[in-house]
Chains A and B, each alone.
Chain A
């Protein structure tokens, strides 16, 4: 550790410090090995720089190469990747091609990193304090003693915005909430007293209200400590709300760069404009079906009706039983041919409600009626019949499709299970018809899920759900795992299908921004209780409950919406 002090000094005390940006990446090209002698480019000649006290955002959808770019900058590329060309310089010191040993002196010390998922990014068997102390110890200019380390770690935790630092210091990661874990990781990143912080989607695993607090804190840190921040995100709204400068990345290239106002006002690039248009905040009202708008009957009859549902989970433990009230006297009415959104953060009980509606879980008390038939307390076989009218679309299209089934087999499975369309031609015809309904063609019939993109997979999942001509679709976070532009397409598809088949949707989501695009009614939940319910227009315009207002304020993309309206 003795030379730990010398190299960073060489980095920071270089004479060009005044002129050189904290981080400058020049024409960086990174390839991934895809075969014996085959390399596929992931980053193609990207350049960027971050100055002192600047908040720069790098925006791109999945697969755009944004994560690879910053992995390259931190020297954390996987072994299957190589830097083909270009250079990375911190304050004018070129670190391209440095080995792990030398990069270890830059990382933490000069550049701090905040990872994506706080739930997996802390060592589960070490106390928070110890993990922050490590970061202090690796990066201190001269060796201190244990007491100094602890004081520095506590200071770092305080700067990261944690309150009861002495207690957090003694806790293990699993004892903290997601937001607190992310703050602990910010403390780890700050512990080395870096000049620049790189944050890779630091809030995508967190609830919206927590997301807002964490991002606001990052902005505050920039002003307080005078450091540079490079934020990597897929969410254009998040980036626009806080940045000084925006870089848009597509397919390994930086396609747009400029101050926020310029990007908002006159984006030069086509892709940037498309991203801006796809942002949910841009749209004021509900999406219109492409085939022309059939008028929604204002007082349509209820197709699904849940009354005073209650569900309590008993947690393991002896003595006093620990109970978790997942759902407390919850009502829900879905009108025919409309969409009813259930909104809430994690732990709000929205998934429990959805799984009770389709009979995956049984409620402790209360009833669910579907078109006059009572669902609660039915036998397995009777429930099976009702499932024909009630289908479910899962959150993650990457895990909800059997990887060994072809698309045609996946879509035909419900037909097979209910003994419909028994002859082969009949079945194929129905599958093709369903594929057409979700805007895919026959060429997809024999593909495997691994050969499809996320959006295509979710289309297949929707086609499968439609196979039995259901009346109601329960969509559990069905667009949450998708990129914004794909998300917009799927939402449009859902609206079109609704108009075409007269479907009713129960749309479970944590994202209020999406609700506005697709829903007629909305129910806001918190801690297993419905806090507010009503038509989308009414809830968005004049929210009655404090929590609803909080959620609405946390929707990212206020600047996008303003620019869109003007």
Chain B
């Protein structure tokens, strides 16, 4: 068991480290002159060479690459990713400022997506009417095929401009989060729903369900009591992987709805070539992604007794 936990934690740490190293190579090593990236492209020619040199020394660009890397890694371990080139604020502070708003959006969207997916799977499994099942099963692929920017604009048009139910943009009040949440949740719910519909159907026709029928269980009793837990296990994995997509998806959603958050921060950071900030964001997102996957992995044995058994092989069992 301990070995399993250590393995999973090790894997999570590796993901974060790999993200850091990769961004370091891409942003600090590969560009011809990383110093150029530190200035606003519009003013780059107006900067006197001695200033450039001072800045380069400041950032340590005159040192060998490996020393730069170790230096940055050391700082990153203490949560220091340097200062944003644009605002001059520490990168960590800038990200932490924006993080809550994006986390609310992303976790809300994930919860909503799971809800939609489970409703679709429940309806598809429990209905006795063929046409209802066919209709419901077609929804996931529909949800995936509509891009976020399109559905976002559509939702804005209807619920904000026509009906005036929700504000079109901004981030004041609970109401403002509704439309971005829905926009973000719909495409994400598609793959989860598709997987769930399939695993519900498979489990619903498995042997133990027949046993339950024969016990005298009712249809709803079987779906809730037997199918639900067995069918949900694979959905858990895909939901945790999807969380990464949600943060990526927030770039567009936050832009469309003009909300502050990691997505907007990323967009401006890339626009202005704010290298330390970009690296900080990438590592942060990777860390969150790794953390969520770690939580899911650690919860798996609690949900599936078979996995618990394979992990506990070291303890002798009665044959």
Output the least CB separation between B107 and chain A (Å): 26
The answer to whether B214 and A125 have CB atoms under 8 Å apart is no
Nearest residue (CB) in B for A135 is B215
Partner of B216, one of A79, A104, A120, A319: A104
The answer to whether B305 and A107 have CB atoms under 8 Å apart is no
CB-CB under 8 A for A174 and B309, given A318-B314, A320-B314: yes
The answer to whether A76 and B215 have CB atoms under 8 Å apart is no
Q: Which of B30-38, B218-226, B270-278, B286-294 contacts A (4 or more CB under 8 A)?
A: B218-226
| Proximity string of chain B (285-313) to chain A, C-beta cutoff 8 Å, 1 when within and 0 when not | 00000000000000000011110011001
User: Within the assembled complex, what's the spacing in Å between the Cα atoms of A126 and B306?
Assistant: 10
Size of the B side of the interface (Cβ < 8 Å), in residues, is: 31
The answer to whether A122 and B210 have CB atoms under 8 Å apart is no
Q: Is A216 an interface residue (CB 8 A)?
A: no
Size of the A side of the interface (Cβ < 8 Å), in residues, is: 44
Task: Give chain A interface residues in 169-191, CB to chain B under 8 Å.
Answer: 172, 174-175, 185, 188-189, 191
Q: Is A139 an interface residue (CB 8 A)?
A: yes
The answer to whether A188 and B314 have CB atoms under 8 Å apart is no
Q: Which of A110-118, A228-236, A499-507 contacts B (4 or more CB under 8 A)?
A: A110-118
Partner of A122, one of B211, B214, B218, B310: B211
Output the least CB separation between A171 and chain B (Å): 9
The answer to whether B313 and A316 have CB atoms under 8 Å apart is yes
Residues of chain B within 8 A of A74, CB atoms compared? 213-214
The answer to whether B305 and A125 have CB atoms under 8 Å apart is yes
The answer to whether A139 and B216 have CB atoms under 8 Å apart is yes
The answer to whether A318 and B218 have CB atoms under 8 Å apart is no
Partner of A138, one of B216, B219, B314: B216
Nearest residue (CB) in B for A122 is B208
Output the least CB separation between B183 and chain A (Å): 35
Q: Is B3 an interface residue (CB 8 A)?
A: yes
The answer to whether A138 and B217 have CB atoms under 8 Å apart is yes
Partner of B207, one of A121, A192, A317: A121
Output the least CB separation between B205 and chain A (Å): 8
Partner of A134, one of B2, B207, B212: B212
| Proximity string of chain A (492-522) to chain B, C-beta cutoff 8 Å, 1 when within and 0 when not | 0000000000000000000000000000000
Output the least CB separation between A149 and chain B (Å): 13
Q: Is A108 an interface residue (CB 8 A)?
A: yes
Residues of chain B within 8 A of A117, CB atoms compared? 207
Q: Is B206 an interface residue (CB 8 A)?
A: yes
The answer to whether B3 and A318 have CB atoms under 8 Å apart is yes
Q: Is A376 an interface residue (CB 8 A)?
A: no
Partner of B230, one of A100, A107, A124: A124
Residues of chain B within 8 A of A123, CB atoms compared? 208, 211-212, 226, 230
Nearest residue (CB) in A for B208 is A123
The answer to whether A101 and B309 have CB atoms under 8 Å apart is no
The answer to whether B310 and A316 have CB atoms under 8 Å apart is yes
CB-CB under 8 A for A107 and B226, given A124-B305, A174-B309, A322-B313: no
The answer to whether A189 and B208 have CB atoms under 8 Å apart is no
Residues of chain A within 8 A of B305, CB atoms compared? 124-125, 172, 174
Residues of chain B within 8 A of A189, CB atoms compared? 214
The answer to whether B215 and A138 have CB atoms under 8 Å apart is yes
The answer to whether B304 and A134 have CB atoms under 8 Å apart is no
Nearest residue (CB) in A for B211 is A121
The answer to whether A188 and B215 have CB atoms under 8 Å apart is yes
The answer to whether A107 and B314 have CB atoms under 8 Å apart is no
Q: Is B75 an interface residue (CB 8 A)?
A: no
Output the least CB separation between B291 and chain A (Å): 25
User: Within the assembled complex, what's the spacing in Å between the Cα atoms of A76 and B204?
Assistant: 13
Output the least CB separation between B277 and chain A (Å): 43
Residues of chain A within 8 A of B316, CB atoms compared? 320
Q: Is A272 an interface residue (CB 8 A)?
A: no
The answer to whether A101 and B211 have CB atoms under 8 Å apart is no
Residues of chain A within 8 A of B225, CB atoms compared? 134
In the assembled complex, 7 residue pairs joining A and B whose CB atoms fall closer than 8 Å, in A order, are A74-B214, A101-B218, A111-B214, A123-B230, A125-B230, A134-B225, A192-B215
**Interface residues of A, Cβ cutoff 8 Å to B:** 74, 76, 79, 100-101, 104-109, 111-113, 115-117, 120-126, 131, 134-135, 138-139, 172, 174-175, 185, 188-189, 191-192, 315-320, 322
**Interface residues of B, Cβ cutoff 8 Å to A:** 2-3, 128, 130, 206-208, 210-219, 225-226, 229-230, 303-306, 309-310, 313-314, 316-317
The 3 A-B residue pairs whose C-beta atoms are closest, nearest first, are A108-B216, A113-B214, A120-B207
